[in-house]
Structure formats: C-alpha cells, structure tokens
Amino acid sequence: IPSSEVDWKEISYQFQRDWDFPNCLGALDGKHIKIQTPSNEGPLYFNYKGYHSIGLLAVANAKYEFIYAEVDASGQDSVDGVWTNSSLRKIFENGNANIPSRGIVPNSSCKLPFVLIGDDAFPLKSYLMKPFPNKSQSNTKRIFSYRLSRAQKVVENAFGILGSKFGILNKTIPFAPEKVKDIIMACVSLHNLLCRHATKAYLPPGYVDGERKDGSIIPGTWRQYDNIFLDMLPLERLKCNELSLEEMSIRDEFANYFMREGAIVKQKLMT
C-alpha cells in the first residue's frame, strides 16, 4: 500500500484524469475464493453461498493494479468480518499511511477529503464513499451514485483480469487455507508486474471495459470467460450501518460538487 502523500496523490490524479472522480485513493472490493474442505476446520470456512472459501479484499488504482490486497484466512464470510479484521481499515482509521486530508478539486476552490470508493456491500465512512440507497433518490444522489459506480468499475475489471489470466482462482483450490493465501498473493503480485511491464501483451486493446461517447459501456473481452465470478463471488453484504453526520456530510459534499463545478456531460446522458 502507498506510504507517502505523494504516492497517494498520484493515484488520486489518475482517478480524476481517467474517471472524473477527484480525491479518490482507490476502488475497494472483495471476493470469495473457493477452497477444498479444510481438515478439522470445515465449518469455519463454510460461507453463505454453501461452499468453503476464504475472502480476498483488494483496492485497485485507475490502471487496474492492486495497491492493496489481503487474504482473510480466518474463515470470515461477510464484508463485515473481512473488513473489520483488515489492516486497511486500521490504516485509514489510525492514520498510519501519510494519507492526505483534504485537497482542492478541479474547477473549484473547495477542498474535499481524500477517500476510497466501494459499492453497497461496504460501510459508509468518512474515508470510504459508497452509493446512496436506491430508494427515493434525488437527481443529485443519482448522479453521485453514477459517478462513483463509474470509477468503481476499475476494481471490477481488475478482478476480472485477475480471474481470466489466473484460472486457478476460478476453481476449487485443493490446498490448505494458508497455502491458498500464498497462491492468491502470488497471482496478485504477478498481475501487478504484468500490468506495469507487459501492458500491451497482458491487456491488449479491448480487454478491459471501454466507454462510448454517450457513457454506455463497451464490455471488455475478459468478460467472455464464462467462469469468471461464478466461483469468485462477492462477499456477503454488510447489514446497514448507522451513519454519522460527518459521513453523510462528506458524501453530500461530493454529490453537490458533481452537480456544479464537477459536472460532466456523460452524467446527464446516463441519469
């Protein structure tokens, strides 16, 4: 994970440049990886989908690289368990990684916090933004949710690339949990290496999702691999968490910015 403010701001710059989401430090998601039934520990790793697995929590940058990945080999089933036990949560809540506080956003004099983004499965935090609930959304809320989900696609694609290139992740891995952890982290490391140093061969044109001028998605060719995400399933969703005034206020700040100085043409076409 980045350890300097300069590195964090470079990630943020890439998200603004490529996905029009300022002050974003990464897109967060998690998956189950199937494993064989562990000896003497079967119930511990039995998940809500009815098979044995361990959880992979990861953050991707705008270039589909994983800047953070952690395998939870304790048998936690849900986002709540995996997230609560993660070193990432502790880093952000304890302020241990030189994470910038607030920064001026494009076309505006206002300063917004630097945040991670995640989907509905994750809790809303002052450092972790998620979409508004679907019910009774105003136009402002719909546009915020669109802008976040658009940038969030980088981690969906990162997991898709990982699964399409490393087939072992798309079937039951026949080893003990600790061995599986090493295999997963090796796949993640190789993925990052190939993204950085063999981009054209590893990610040929059209391999990841693209966008048309109207904002609609051109599916990447990695999606042609039918078994991806059949086994790498999402973690169980977190039950609704109580929201603080600070958390809701920060999300509203981003939402209002996207309606004014930070507006883009595609949001009008897609919402």
What tokens appear for 55 in the block?
Answer: 């959880």
Neighbours of 199 (CB within 10 A): 12
- In contact, 116 and 27? CB cutoff 8 Å: yes
Over the stretch 36-73, which tens digit does the pLDDT of each residue have?
Answer: 888 876 677 777 777 788 889 999 999 999 999 999 76
Q: Is 24 helix (H, G, I), strand (E, B) or coil?
A: strand
Distance of CA 161 to the CA centre of its chain: 14
> β-strands 111-113, 53-60: how paired?
unpaired
What tokens appear for 158 in the block?
Answer: 């990162």
Whole-prediction pTM: 0.92
What is the rounded radius of gyration, in angstroms, for the C-alpha atoms of the chain? Answer: 19
Q: Where are the alpha helices (H) located in the chain, listed in sequence order?
A: 5-19, 79-85, 87-94, 139-165, 177-197, 199-202, 245-259, 265-270
CA angle (132, 133, 135) in 5-degree steps: 130
Identify the burial level of 142 via C-beta atoms within 10 angstroms of its C-beta, where 0-12 means exposed, 13-18 middle and 19 or more buried: middle
Distance of CA 215 to the CA centre of its chain: 20
Question: Nearest Cα to 142, choosing from 45, 258, 13?
Answer: 258
Phi, then psi, of 217 in degrees rounded to 5: -90, 135
Distances (CA, A) of 199 to 129, 155, 190, 203: 30, 17, 12, 5
Distances (CA, A) of 112 to 24, 100, 249: 10, 11, 11
Position 124 scores a pLDDT of 94
Low-confidence ranges of the chain (pLDDT < 50): none
- In contact, 232 and 169? CB cutoff 8 Å: yes
**What is the separation, in whole angstroms, between the first and last Cα of the chain?**
34
- In contact, 256 and 140? CB cutoff 8 Å: yes
Position 78 scores a pLDDT of 60
Position 50 scores a pLDDT of 77
Distances (CA, A) of 96 to 13, 24, 90: 21, 18, 8
Give the C-alpha separation, 12 to 20, whole Å.
10
- In contact, 31 and 55? CB cutoff 8 Å: yes
